[in-house]
Amino acid sequence: GVRRGRRWEERGNRGVETRAAPRASQIGVVTRANFLRPRHRVAGGRVWRRVHASSVSSDAASTADTENPKEPEKKPLPFRVPAKPPSLLVVPASPIPTIEEVLTETETKNVFAFLARKKKPKPPTGVRARDVITETVRLTFRDFAATVVLAVCAGAAAQVVNLGGTFLLAIAGVHEVDIVAAAFLLAVQLAKQVAQISVRVATFRNARDVDCADVTSDGGGVITSASRMNPKNAWREIVDAFAVWKFVLFIDARRLLSIAWNGVLTIPVPYLGLVKLLDYALCVPVFLFEGLQGKENLKRSETLMLGHRMRLLRAGLGLGTVLSLAVGVVVGTFSVIVPSLPSLLMEPATSAAATATAAGVSGTVSSGMDTNRASETAMGIFTGTAFDRVWDVGTITEKWATVFLLAFAVVGSFLFAAAVRQLVYVFYRETAARYAPPPPPEEVVDGGEPGPVKKFLAKMAFWKKVEDGDTSDAVATRTAELREKESSGGEKDFAKEKGS
């Protein structure tokens, strides 16, 4: 109020009517001094200070942004990134040579001594593949019941979408429209894919929580594989995993495109495709346990797999061999107990011969008929028509054997999927816990001189001018001559210009 009163007094002295200071200063009093100023300065010191301060702050902010550009803010993840799982496997120690081996190495100095000498085992550089397989099998059976409950919960949700959508379309009477049916089929396939991704994410998290002995969110106690068998807890895990299905689907799509492109580059032997398949095997655990996305995710997985590709390949092949042996033993046992079951599942020879005759194939071509019969049998087992034949003409023993065989096929599919996921988890757990960043490349040796690689390249580049510090005398001499010639040539040109 005092400041405004003084301003009005000054204006009164300049010929403006003197009045009491109002609550808000007037805008629009035009004098010669005010006419030459910006309009906002006439309104009083408060407005001018606010505008000036805002302009100064905006200029300072723009200058800071140009000098130190900020990275674009990343979208926050819909989950809390947990701690990495600890390493549980032990790297075997290097074998200690015996006294006999030392003596034989010292006393045999013959030319052909290397033929009698035993090959030394290489020291281990990491976890052995058989240890990884053993740990994978242990975790598979430990978390198998929890994995089944998780799969049942996610599958039930997908079936609700499938059956509920079919019922609603039938009520609306649009289920026979081609476009609607195609769109609904795509939606059902997407729901199944989302359910599969949710089960995969929940399996990784369950294995990590059990290994770390975490406590439940409600403080109910330590998380175990038995606690996840509760349908309520399993459904909660599926709901939490549903929040990240878009991220995982994007990671899978980007990884698949990279693998396919690198496989196409090395046709007919897709060597690079196999390499990228091994490099990007840990993308989903890296996203779940480290929170990396996009290019950083792929690069981190490739970094962890550096030097471990063959170990993962051996572990995968070994695990596949174990599962194949288990399937062969079970199928062989069923064949011994019920020897008539394989022939009953296969298509009868009379129908196969009739089909071949109707197609115009001669009966003497038995190999072709056997091939067609085997393919039709496989298709019948896949579609279920072979089992219909068992229910129609089979005995009680054959029917019960078929039921047990189907149950084993379902359990075997669950075991195979769980084993593959546990293999990926075990490999991430061991590689991430033992990872150490590589040392930087040694470009400069002690004393500030360039290293041997740069020295060699500098010596080979004899046609270029070298920088200071090069140890090549011939190149240094030639460089000095060229510099001297350039300086003398420049002085002569300057003298000619001055004389002219």
Distance linking the first and last C-alpha atoms of the chain: 78
pLDDT one-digit tens code per residue, 141-167: 999 999 999 999 999 999 999 999 989
Residue 175 has pLDDT above 60, yes or no: yes
Instruction: Report the length, in residues, of the chain.
Output: 500
- Judge whether residue 374 has pLDDT over 90: no
- Cβ 391 vs Cβ 341: under 8 Å: no
Q: What is the DSSP letter of 222?
A: B
- Could you tell me which residues come within 8 angstroms of residue 338 by beta carbon, excluding any fewer than 6 positions away? 397, 398, 401
For 315-336, what is each residue's pLDDT tens digit? 999 999 998 898 888 888 888 8
Q: H or E segment at 211? A: helix 178-212
CA 456 to chain centre: 40
| Lowest-confidence segment of 61-75, 283-297, 411-425, 442-456 by average pLDDT | 61-75
Q: Tell me the average pLDDT across 400-424.
A: 89
CA R_g for the chain: 39
Q: Is the pLDDT of residue 482 over 80?
A: no
**Token pair belonging to 39:** 């309009």
Q: Which of 72-81, 130-139, 379-388, 470-479 has the highest mean pLDDT?
A: 130-139
Coil, strand, or helix at residue 122? coil
Statement: residue 20 has pLDDT above 50:
no
Task: Report pLDDT digits (tens) over 302-316.
Answer: 999 988 889 999 999
Here the tokens at position 171 are 């009520």
Give Cα 107 distance to the centre of its chain. 54
Six-digit token string for 110: 């013959």
Residue 416 neighbours by CB under 8 Å, 6+ apart = 323
**Integer Cα distance of 206 and 223 in angstroms:** 9
Is the model more confident about 128 or about 74? 128
- Residue range 44-57, pLDDT digits in tens: 444 444 444 555 45
Are 248 and 216 in contact by the 8 Å Cβ rule? The answer is: no
In which band, very low, low, confident or very high, does the pLDDT at 125 lie, cut at 50, 70 and 90? low
Give the three-state DSSP class for 433: helix
The tally of CA atoms less than 13 A away on the side-chain side of residue 14 is: 12
39 exposed, middle or buried (CB, 10 Å; 0-12, 13-18, 19+)? exposed
The model's pTM: 0.67
3-class SS string, 438-464: CCCCCCECCCCCECHHHHHHHHHCCCC
Identify which of 294, 258, 255 has the alpha carbon closest to the alpha carbon of residue 424.
255
